[in-house]
Amino acid sequence: MTEQQRRPTLMDVAEAAGVSRALVSIVMRGAPGAAESTRQRVLETALQLGYRADSRARLLRSSRTKLLGLVFSSSQPFHAEIVDAAYAEASARGYEIALSAVAGGRPEARAIETLLDVGAEALIIIAPTLSMDELALHARQVPVVSLLRDDVGDLVDSVSSDDHAGISLAIDHLLSLGHRRIVHVDGGTAVSSDKRRETYRTEMVRHGLQPVIVPGGPGEEDGMGAGQILQADLPTAVIAFNDRSALGIMESFRAAGISIPTDVSVLGYDDSHFAKLSYVQLSSVSQDAPLLAAAAVGRAVDRIEGSEPPGSVVRTPHLVLRKTTAQLPDAGLNSS
């Protein structure tokens, strides 16, 4: 049923309109060099035949593909937000986005290859896990922009959020509420976990406070585990590696009858969907995904079009205060 009829080509339109292929091409891409009257006629016949340019042939000929390759991880809700924003920014800049997911059994390298195969002019990789060398290798072929990771060598662009500023913001906020026993639950092996942990450590020391780091991870379960540990010697405030971890921590506290923020303040990171839920109302450090995405796309386009050298863009995150942090009642008593 419904035998797929061959889709019409430039040639078909040209014949039907009684002109040359070249002229149809000119008309279709709105280039100058066609009389208004013929232009109309050609457009009309094209519409009638349901003509639709074959992007493969088009791209093959004109070396430009106007394609931006975007590698994301299908299991990260936060990446989805970025994808969303990237689409918008790219189309505003006159580019298309080719998506490629990293999934179970589909490593980053594979995702990248696919994108290069379809002719992406630049690569945007969200939180790349490849080594600096591997990234540099690709960067020799096309501009590569690393998103959310900045230690990528100087052949690769990076757009990231200032983790140092984010953690500092969190600590300052808690300090201003009178907290002094502030603990960090880290992200284990997750990207940017190291930087957040180290910033926490140095900032605490700088303020003359004792840093305490509880091992964690990027998921709810990791937070749960850390929460158990914390209960043995409850601090007055906790800075989690991310929102999901914070959720786990809060859940473990709740199960133990510890109330938030009365007994302990909790701060998340990412300002994700969860943080905004009415029954969570988690205060969190926002990296502002749409802005990051726009910056990454902008960077990629600039690299393609201009001959700018690679560089890095760092955006400053901001605090979104909700209901999980509160003033310490008996401020300034116990310090370590």
Residue bearing tokens 């850390």: 226
Strand order in the sheet with 283-286: 212-214, 182-185, 237-240, 265-269, 283-286, 318-320
Check binding of 69 to a copy of itself (CB under 8 A). no
Q: Give me the least distance between CB of 113 and DNA, in Å please.
A: 14
Check binding of 29 to DNA (CB under 7 A). yes
| Span interacting with DNA, options 47-55, 108-116, 169-177, 275-283, rule CB under 7 A | 47-55
88 binds, among DNA, a copy of itself, none (CB under 5 to 8 A by kind): a copy of itself
Token pair of 200 as six digits: 């926490």
The gap from C-alpha 36 to its chain's centroid, in whole angstroms, comes to 45
Check binding of 306 to a copy of itself (CB under 8 A). no
Check binding of 93 to DNA (CB under 7 A). no
| Span interacting with a copy of itself, options 11-19, 29-37, 272-280, 321-329, rule CB under 8 A | 272-280
Check binding of 25 to DNA (CB under 7 A). yes
The gap from C-alpha 215 to its chain's centroid, in whole angstroms, comes to 25
Residue burial 144-157, b: 16+ Cβ < 10 Å; e: rest: bbbbbbbebeebbb
Q: Give me the least distance between CB of 321 and DNA, in Å please.
A: 51
**Alpha helices by DSSP H, 182-288:** 193-206, 220-232, 243-255, 273-276
Check binding of 40 to DNA (CB under 7 A). no
From the list 9, 38, 55, 129, which residue makes contact with a copy of itself (rule: CB under 8 A)?
55
Residue bearing tokens 């920014």: 89
Check binding of 140 to a copy of itself (CB under 8 A). yes
From the list 187, 216, 248, 317, which residue makes contact with a copy of itself (rule: CB under 8 A)?
248
Check binding of 75 to a copy of itself (CB under 8 A). yes
Cβ burial, residue 320 (10 Å; 0-12/13-18/19+): middle
Neighbours of 187 (CB within 10 A): 24
How far apart, in whole angstroms, are the C-alpha atoms of residue 139 and residue 120? 12
Check binding of 278 to a copy of itself (CB under 8 A). yes
- Tell me which residues touch DNA (CB under 7 A): 6, 9-11, 18-23, 25-26, 28-29, 31-39, 51-54, 57-58, 60-62, 64
